[in-house]
Structure 1
Amino acid sequence: MALQENKLHISLLLIRLTVFLVMLMWTLDKFINPEHAAKVYEKFYFIAGLGHLTMYVIGCAELVVLLLFVVGYMKKYSYGAVLFFHGVSTFSSFKQYLHPFEGANLLFFAAWPMLAACLALFILRDSDKKFTVN
């Protein structure tokens, strides 16, 4: 394998693992602190009244997608779903971008490079071969 190709494979693996880590933490929040997750859905997605069971179901569905994603299985769909999830999350935080220096809003800007990473991984999914399931 050419050195340049190996560098690409390692880079894509690192992107996949780190995106997985962030998304996993958000998914675990639905199991560990479902009240917080429900408040996030209410504030950013305008979906109110979600109970623990609903958060657990959403968390389970996300976890399945994330496991497919981290092992590189069904890339078109799993990478696409992660891109979609994070894209919705990024754009639903629009108000925070308008007031970056209020509260913790500055932290929301970290979503943009991660969104770019998700998009790059989706575009380059056929080149992401290191530690993937065929």
Structure 2
Amino acid sequence: MTSLRIPLFLTRLSIVGFLLPWQIMRFTKPESIAGIAKKYYNISSVPEIASTITGVLMMSLLLAFLVGFKKRISYGLVMVLHGIGTLMTLPNLIPGLEGYNQLFLAAVPTFFAMLLLYCLRDQDTFFSLNK
């Protein structure tokens, strides 16, 4: 299983790279987060402070995920939250539907990479706090 250490770490690193811009946007463009919440999650109003608070919480979770801290919780939460977000954008994932956008398809293999990482979390020990 030692041959899995580096690929699992690189998978973890790439997931962080995929999610990080969205979290940074919570701080740099909170109005964009409000627009996304309205369009994709049917949340009519998101105060700027809510964007900042969720940004702090999500960045903390992403940091825990990055360093392999409490893997069952951090890997699981990242996967579940991403999975919920992906399901909420389902019309954007299905070709032929009005909202279809090919860029949204990147969320699907990302989810399955998260699932794989969660299943193999005990073997993911490279640059990990919880070995």
Give the TM-score range, shorter chain.
Answer: over 0.9
Structure in which a larger fraction of residues adopt helix: 1
**Helix, strand or coil for the counterpart of 2:23?**
helix
For residue 129 of structure 1, what is the aligned residue in structure 2? 125
Structure 1: which amino acid aligns with 2:22? W
1:18-68 Cα offsets, whole Å, 9 max, x none, are 101111111111101111111111111111210211100000000110010
With normalisation by structure 1, the TM-score equals: 0.90
- Which sections of structure 2, spanning at least 5 residues, go unmatched? none
The answer to whether 1:12 aligns with 2:8 is yes
- Which sections of structure 1, spanning at least 5 residues, go unmatched? none
Q: Could you tell me how far apart the structure 2 residues matched to 1:99 and 1:48 are?
A: 27
Q: Could you tell me how far apart the structure 2 residues matched to 1:30 and 1:12 are?
A: 28
With normalisation by structure 2, the TM-score equals: 0.92
The answer to whether 1:111 aligns with 2:124 is no
Confirm or deny: 8 A CA contact 2:26 2:33 kept in the other structure: yes
Relative to structure 1, is the Cα distance of residues 100 and 37 closer, same or farther in structure 2, using a 3 angstrom cutoff? Answer: farther
How large is the RMSD of aligned CA atoms in angstroms?
Answer: 1.6
Percent pairwise identity: 35
For residue 47 of structure 2, what is the aligned residue in structure 1? 51
Q: Could you tell me how far apart the structure 1 residues matched to 2:94 and 2:11 are?
A: 28
